[in-house]
A and B are shown apart, each in its own frame.
Chain A
Amino acid sequence: MRVTAETKAATRQRILEAARQLFATSGFEACTTRQIADAAGIATGTLFNYFATKEAVLASLAAEVVAGVHRDFEDRNSDQESFEEELFTFVAAGLRKLKPLRKQLPVLLETALNPLATAGDDDVPSLRLQHLETVARLTKRHGLGELSPVAVQLYWTLYTGLVTFWAQDRSPKQEDTLALLDESLAMFASWLQLQREDNPTKGGA
């Protein structure tokens, strides 16, 4: 029997939904691909036709929830916000969406959030690339020029550090993560500004 594109998409969606629920109830580590397949009503082998690993399932879930945030930022009218403030809004909006996956995110530090990640899996756009493209657009829009490789690396180090901190944050409603985000972005924005002042001809950091 030939599997149509619609059937494939529906199966993929069922796997993701089953994984979302199992990760939330049992946690990422305790949950197996077999359990995900059972919950999705497919054979374990079939699951691997869609996702190479359990981490890839998680990365797809994360990419799916943050995709909306990137789209929202394309249409946003934010003339009155500073770069630092808009960047804060962007990162915080992503964290809001990722909240159900908060504790599992460090798993992705070696894959989708890895500083060396590229558009790996065929249908899993790299979370990192999506995120950095938006940051680069924000930087440009605020007159801070192109992001240099150093700036990208610095920013991503701050971001992944924040995600790791967030996953372990035991403060009430993870308010310490907000404080850390505020400090980190203030530091990054000041550094970008300084770089721009030091190299005005290069048009950015």
Chain B
Amino acid sequence: MPPTIAELMRALPEESEALAEVALREPLAVAFRPVPVGRWRRLRLLASLQTRIAAAYLFYWVRSWFERADQKERLLAETHWKTALRLLDSMGYLRGAVMKVGQTLANFPDIVPREFVQTLERLHFDAPPMHWSLFREMVCNELGDDPENVFASFDKRAFAAASLGQVHRARLKTGEEVAVKIQYPGIARTIREDFRNFFLYLLPGRLNRDWQNTKEQFDDLRTRLERETDYSLEAAVQEKVRTLFREDDGIVVARVYPQYSTPRVLTMDRLDGVHVDEFMARSPSQDERNQFAAKMVHAWYRMLYAGRLSYADNHPGNFVLMDDGRLGVIDFGFMVAHSDDEWKLMHKVDRALTTGRPEDRIAVVKESCLITDESADAERLRLSEEFFDWTGGAHYRGGPFDFGDEADFRRGIDLFTEMVRKRYNRARPSMPAFARLNFGVRSMLYRLKAKFDVRPIAEEEVKATGWDRSAYA
């Protein structure tokens, strides 16, 4: 059993007695703390989180003046760990959109400090669960009776916990082994409140000429996350995606049981296997890693080209390498369904990804990022086009691509950071969702240290669109 956050905190050397006291006085040891749902309370907790992180690094900085050089590295690592633990603790506690931020940070291996990534990854699996009594009431509210009566058997201990809900193993009275995902009460409200709080952070930019566009992007992301709280929508998407895969694809999407599902409960077949990190811990061969990665890419392209859906929730908790070698894909809450307008743009993206010609790439970048021909936009165009190259280069260049190349992975993060720093954020409203998608995809392939050619997979899958591609040449 992994240690609790409180045990990890205690195991670390303390920075000072004062800070130690602050750390231990907080209710870290309470495993089942309720999710705080008041807007101002969440804002205050977020603010105190920032203060504590700042304090940890300030203390490191001051203390390092008096340390020998060889001790500085250890001290910095300790500070990273401690700060990451605090982030984990607070984000796991706050849940909702705040926890999504933590999960996204964990998608930047080797970019964000290693200690952060390793610790925040636990948000994908180990967020503190609801206690059983609360869980039982939620099940009763939603399914009309206690879990012990609804199911043949029910494991009281959650085996996975994430930003919106937690998952329990169970068996139906008809014998099927299932996973039951249930949402924390009031989580939809916490997401709305988190977004109102995040919006406060954006307010200083309201005089910017792109303010209206920023708001549209922000609203798009908020709407998508709010939709994620309706499990009946997720169930419908999951069933649609399930039909896209055939037996011989080696890719499985769990079947939903509608009679045991509601907007707050989702019951589906259980997919047993290992997640990416457990798989990597077995030191798999390059070939095994490539196979795992290729299946993921197949799954992404199938959903995109055959289903007109982009899978935007790429993190290690959502992919399972099953014992029989098949890939299990779970969690369809954050999917981008392409409107007709976006689908036309996707056709143009396909053209650019197929030809790789600069003029095709630039046309797509201009349309996606709403870039005009004004000279003031030249730098914006250059950076955006480079970013497109980072996300699509492996596709249009073809041949084996080393997704485990740290320098290349870092290039994408640096480009994105530079665009944010220069406030080059004008884009179509769905762009934040696509940015999340792109980083998620690259992060998963980077974790697997995969080296393979994605182009043949894309070429095979794109046929499902029926697009006329003869004019590309």
For the complex, what is the distance from the CA of A96 to the CA of B34, rounded to whole Å?
A: 20
Of A81, A180, A183, the contact of B133 (CB 8 Å cutoff): A81
Complex interface: chain A residues within 8 A of B177 (CB): none
For the complex, what is the distance from the CA of A172 to the CA of B185, rounded to whole Å?
A: 10
Q: Is A162 among interface residues, defined by CB-CB distance under 8 A?
A: no
Q: What is the CB-to-nearest-CB distance from A186 to chain B, in angstroms, rounded to a whole number?
A: 5
For the complex, what is the distance from the CA of A94 to the CA of B141, rounded to whole Å?
A: 14
Contacting pair A183 B138 (CB below 8 A): no
For the complex, what is the distance from the CA of A114 to the CA of B264, rounded to whole Å?
A: 35
Contacting pair B131 A88 (CB below 8 A): yes
Complex interface: chain A residues within 8 A of B186 (CB): 171, 175-176, 178-180
Q: Is B27 among interface residues, defined by CB-CB distance under 8 A?
A: yes
Given contacts A175-B185, A183-B37, contact A89 B133 (CB under 8 A): yes
Q: Is B198 among interface residues, defined by CB-CB distance under 8 A?
A: no
Can you add 19 more A-B contacts, CB < 8 Å, to A85-B32, A171-B189, A186-B30?
A: A81-B132, A81-B133, A84-B32, A85-B131, A85-B133, A96-B140, A173-B264, A175-B186, A178-B134, A178-B138, A179-B184, A179-B185, A179-B186, A182-B130, A182-B131, A182-B185, A183-B37, A186-B33, A190-B27
Given contacts A88-B134, A89-B133, contact A179 B263 (CB under 8 A): no
Q: Which of A70-107 contact B (CB under 8 A)?
A: 81-82, 84-86, 88-89, 92, 96
For the complex, what is the distance from the CA of A171 to the CA of B137, rounded to whole Å?
A: 15
For the complex, what is the distance from the CA of A96 to the CA of B27, rounded to whole Å?
A: 30
Number of A-B residue pairs with CB-CB distance less than 8 Å in the complex they form = 67
For the complex, what is the distance from the CA of A166 to the CA of B155, rounded to whole Å?
A: 30
Complex interface: chain B residues within 8 A of A179 (CB): 34-35, 37, 184-186
Contacting pair A186 B142 (CB below 8 A): no
Complex interface: chain A residues within 8 A of B429 (CB): none
Contacting pair A84 B134 (CB below 8 A): no
Q: Give A residues with C-beta under 8 Å from B.
A: 81-82, 84-86, 88-89, 92, 96, 171-176, 178-180, 182-183, 186, 190
Q: What is the CB-to-nearest-CB distance from B137 to chain A, in angstroms, rounded to a whole number?
A: 5
Q: Is B356 among interface residues, defined by CB-CB distance under 8 A?
A: no
Q: Is B36 among interface residues, defined by CB-CB distance under 8 A?
A: yes
| Nearest 4 interchain pairs by C-beta | A179-B186, A175-B185, A182-B34, A178-B185
List 6 interface pairs A-B (beta carbons < 8 Å), by A numbering.
Answer: A85-B32, A173-B142, A175-B264, A179-B34, A183-B34, A183-B36
Q: What is the CB-to-nearest-CB distance from A96 to chain B, in angstroms, rounded to a whole number?
A: 7
Complex interface: chain A residues within 8 A of B33 (CB): 186
Given contacts A88-B131, A88-B133, contact A175 B36 (CB under 8 A): no
Q: What is the CB-to-nearest-CB distance from A69 to chain B, in angstroms, rounded to a whole number?
A: 14
Of A84, A171, A172, A176, the contact of B131 (CB 8 Å cutoff): A84
Of A82, A86, A96, A176, the contact of B185 (CB 8 Å cutoff): A176
Contacting pair A186 B34 (CB below 8 A): yes
Most buried by B among A85, A173, A179: A179
For the complex, what is the distance from the CA of A81 to the CA of B131, rounded to whole Å?
A: 9
A contact face: mostly helix, strand, loop, or mixed: helix
For the complex, what is the distance from the CA of A190 to the CA of B25, rounded to whole Å?
A: 12
Which chain B residue lies CB-closest to A90?
A: B133
For the complex, what is the distance from the CA of A178 to the CA of B36, rounded to whole Å?
A: 12
Write the B31-75 contact mask toward A (1 if CB under 8 angstroms, else 0): 011111100000000000000000000000000000000000000
Complex interface: chain A residues within 8 A of B185 (CB): 175-176, 178-179, 182
Of A81, A84, A178, A182, the contact of B141 (CB 8 Å cutoff): A178
Contacting pair A92 B133 (CB below 8 A): yes
Which chain A residue lies CB-closest to B31?
A: A82
Contacting pair B264 A172 (CB below 8 A): yes
Which chain A residue lies CB-closest to B229?
A: A172
Which chain A residue lies CB-closest to B189?
A: A176
For the complex, what is the distance from the CA of A175 to the CA of B230, rounded to whole Å?
A: 14
Complex interface: chain B residues within 8 A of A171 (CB): 186, 189
Complex interface: chain A residues within 8 A of B32 (CB): 84-85, 186
Which chain A residue lies CB-closest to B35?
A: A179
Most buried by A among B130, B131, B137: B137
Q: What is the CB-to-nearest-CB distance from B278 to chain A, in angstroms, rounded to a whole number?
A: 30
Q: What is the CB-to-nearest-CB distance from B150 to chain A, in angstroms, rounded to a whole number?
A: 15
Which chain A residue lies CB-closest to B132?
A: A85
For the complex, what is the distance from the CA of A204 to the CA of B27, rounded to whole Å?
A: 20
Given contacts A85-B131, A179-B186, contact A173 B141 (CB under 8 A): yes
Complex interface: chain B residues within 8 A of A173 (CB): 141-142, 264
Complex interface: chain B residues within 8 A of A176 (CB): 37, 185-186, 189
Q: Which of B125-163 contact A (CB under 8 A)?
A: 130-134, 136-138, 140-142
Q: What is the CB-to-nearest-CB distance from B40 to chain A, in angstroms, rounded to a whole number?
A: 14
For the complex, what is the distance from the CA of A172 to the CA of B138, rounded to whole Å?
A: 11
For the complex, what is the distance from the CA of A86 to the CA of B136, rounded to whole Å?
A: 12
Given contacts A85-B132, A85-B133, A182-B185, contact A175 B37 (CB under 8 A): no
Most buried by A among B37, B141, B185, B264: B185
For the complex, what is the distance from the CA of A172 to the CA of B264, rounded to whole Å?
A: 9
For the complex, what is the distance from the CA of A84 to the CA of B36, rounded to whole Å?
A: 16
Q: What is the CB-to-nearest-CB distance from A134 to chain B, in angstroms, rounded to a whole number?
A: 15
Given contacts A81-B133, A88-B133, contact A172 B263 (CB under 8 A): yes
For the complex, what is the distance from the CA of A158 to the CA of B142, rounded to whole Å?
A: 25
Complex interface: chain A residues within 8 A of B37 (CB): 176, 179-180, 183
Q: What is the CB-to-nearest-CB distance from A73 to chain B, in angstroms, rounded to a whole number?
A: 13
Complex interface: chain A residues within 8 A of B141 (CB): 173-175, 178
Complex interface: chain A residues within 8 A of B133 (CB): 81, 85-86, 88-89, 92
Contacting pair B131 A92 (CB below 8 A): no
Q: What is the CB-to-nearest-CB distance from B19 to chain A, in angstroms, rounded to a whole number?
A: 22
Complex interface: chain A residues within 8 A of B130 (CB): 182
Most buried by A among B30, B34, B35, B142: B34
